[in-house]
Amino acid sequence: MRPIRIALTKGRLEKETIKIFDKMQLDTSELKNKGRRLILPLSGYEAVLAKAADVITYIEHGVCDIGIVGKDTILEYPGSFYEMLDLNIGKCVFALAGPKGFDFYSGYSVKTVATKYPNVARAFFEQKGMDVKIIKIEGSVELAPLLNLSEGIVDLVETGNTLRENGLEIIETITPISARVIVNVASLKLRKTEIENFISQMEKAI
Ligand code: PRP
């Protein structure tokens, strides 16, 4: 049987996840010196480094057993897997933001909102019964209102620096976000002891 595979989100969450692995007394030396390698040994486990949305894809297909991914990605790409644990790292909020002082909710014209998270944005405005036009942007969404492409953005806000430094402000917060541990449905049945053991160790380390 192959080792239990753990899919990690590359980038912002990576360092904080490795800190948790260190507290679990796993050998993270290969992960810390990965170079361009994408699959790294981790004390008898295998760590796989992937983009957030791909972590969900690998977990759903069962090629990785345990995934570490932001709640933002889970909300945008809901799928069939178990969400087991809140790691309390990568904390930020989803928010609707716009140019400082702009009254987003006034007037009857249909507003345009730019976002990397069209499903999250659509659900937010649907629940308000508000008709908006949503434009998908791949990154630095704050550019869209600055270029007059949109009146608002739906995006993650952590320190608020990006908004502030670009003359934008939060209009409304949508929901708090943090990193979660997800597990493939079949893996949890077939390799229950190994997976529960790993997750309970993680729980103790946070
Ligand atoms: C995220 C997010 C905001 C910024 C918020 O982007 O989309 O732009 O961080 O953080 P702050 O409130 O601390 O300024 P990221 O840097 O991950 O890059 P991206 O926009 O290219 O996805």
| Nearest Cα to Cα of residue 146 among 114, 181, 117, 189 | 114
Residue 12's DSSP bridge partners are none
Q: Would you state the pLDDT for residue 72? A: 98
Indicate yes or no: pTM above 0.75.
Answer: yes
User: Residue whose CA is closest, atom 16 of ligand 1?
Assistant: 140
Q: Is 84 in the pocket of ligand 1 (CB under 6 A)?
A: no
Q: Would you state the pLDDT for residue 28? A: 98
* CA atoms of 114 and 144, how far apart (whole Å): 6
For the CA of 160, the closest atom of ligand 1 is 12
CB neighbours of 107 closer than 8 A, spacing ≥ 6?
Answer: none
What domains can you pick out in the chain, each with its CATH number? 5-90+178-205 (3.40.190.10), 92-176 (3.40.190.10)
Give the pLDDT band of residue 106 (cuts 50, 70, 90). very high
Q: Is 159 in the pocket of ligand 1 (CB under 6 A)?
A: yes
Give the pLDDT band of residue 115 (cuts 50, 70, 90). very high
β-sheet with 5-9: strand ranges across: 39-42, 45-50, 5-9, 66-70, 179-183, 82-86
* CA atoms of 155 and 138, how far apart (whole Å): 11
**DSSP assignment of 129-153:** T--EEEEE-SS-TTHHHHTTS-SEE
pLDDT tens, residue by residue, 143-186: 999 999 999 999 999 999 999 999 999 999 999 999 999 999 99
